[in-house]
Amino acid sequence: MKPFDRTEASDTAGSSERLRSFTGAIWKALVPRQGECASVQGELIRANERLTTECFQNGMGNYYVEEEEIGQNYYGRLALFILNTLMENRGGALDADDLAYFAGIRGRLETDRALRLRIQELEIKEGELTEEEGRELEALCDKDSERIPWEALFNRAERCIANWCIANPELIDRRGRPVEEGGVRSLEQILDPPAPPPKCPLCGGRGFIQPRDDRSFPERCSCQARV
């Protein structure tokens, strides 16, 4: 299957119909109703969708929990899984620019977290802020370069995850071992299913042969004996 290029998705725009169809097909085939996927391919799709939903519905509020470190937080683990998997670049699916982008995001997670938590702490503080705290809050809010651009990240990740899956069609678990999920062992079963058998030349696939005149009845085609 042809990989997805940057014209089919960008950091700020929505994905193409082809990319959405690709993601939807894998989701339908591999993602269970509850819990994680057994395969890396399915879990990449599931994780990015879960994070995208969290971003749009809650502004990543459930990710920025003060009592939990990134690796302890459910959404933090999903983000780390996507970033670490893509950065390993199994099958050479990503180019140098994409690898550098995800590496940069990975390196900013702790800084972004500390920044966001401090902003939250100042914004919910009881009583008025001191002048020093007010200046600190204003300065922190201006540090856009240190924040994680979540929406842009998930948009780019969707394209790169799709290309990762194309480069690695055989389903594997997190240890790199072959795995089966929902009866699927390879994405080729989903993306390139075998062609349907040719139609019977006698009946055209109808299963019966039209009578030659109005006084006769349709006849069951001989192809039905093989069904």
The overall longest dimension of the chain from CA atoms, in Å, is 100
Are residue 208 and residue 160 in the same domain, yes or no? no
State the DSSP code for 25: H
Residue 52 lies in a domain: yes
**Average pLDDT for residues 53-60, to the nearest whole number?**
95
Q: Is the pLDDT of residue 199 over 50?
A: yes
Are residue 15 and residue 60 in the same domain, yes or no? yes
pLDDT, one tens digit per residue, over 97-128 is: 999 999 999 999 999 999 989 888 888 887 88
Are residue 136 and residue 205 in the same domain, yes or no? no
Provide φ and ψ at 209, rounded to 5°. -110, 130
* Residue whose C-alpha is closest to residue 98's, from 31, 158, 41, 138: 158
Structure tokens at 141: 């809010």
Range of the domain at 168: 6-191
Q: Residue 23: which residues within 8 A CB-CB, separation 6 or more?
A: 15, 45, 49, 158, 161, 162
Q: Is the pLDDT of residue 158 over 70?
A: yes
The model scores a pTM over 0.85: no
Res 196: pLDDT: 58
Residue 1 lies in a domain: no
What average pLDDT does the structure give for the chain?
A: 89
Residue 14 lies in a domain: yes
Residue 211 lies in a domain: yes
Are residue 83 and residue 158 in the same domain, yes or no? yes
The total number of structural domains that make up the chain: 2
Are residue 149 and residue 84 in the same domain, yes or no? yes
Res 137: pLDDT: 84
CA distance 165 to 25: 12
Contact indicator for 219, 211 with CB cutoff of 8 Å: yes
Residue 133 lies in a domain: yes
Are residue 37 and residue 64 in the same domain, yes or no? yes
Provide φ and ψ at 172, rounded to 5°. -135, 155
CA distance 79 to 61: 14
Are residue 160 and residue 225 in the same domain, yes or no? no
Alpha helices by DSSP H, the chain: 17-30, 40-58, 74-88, 96-123, 131-141, 150-167, 188-191
Provide φ and ψ at 218, rounded to 5°. -60, 145
pLDDT, one tens digit per residue, over 76-94 is: 999 999 999 999 999 999 9
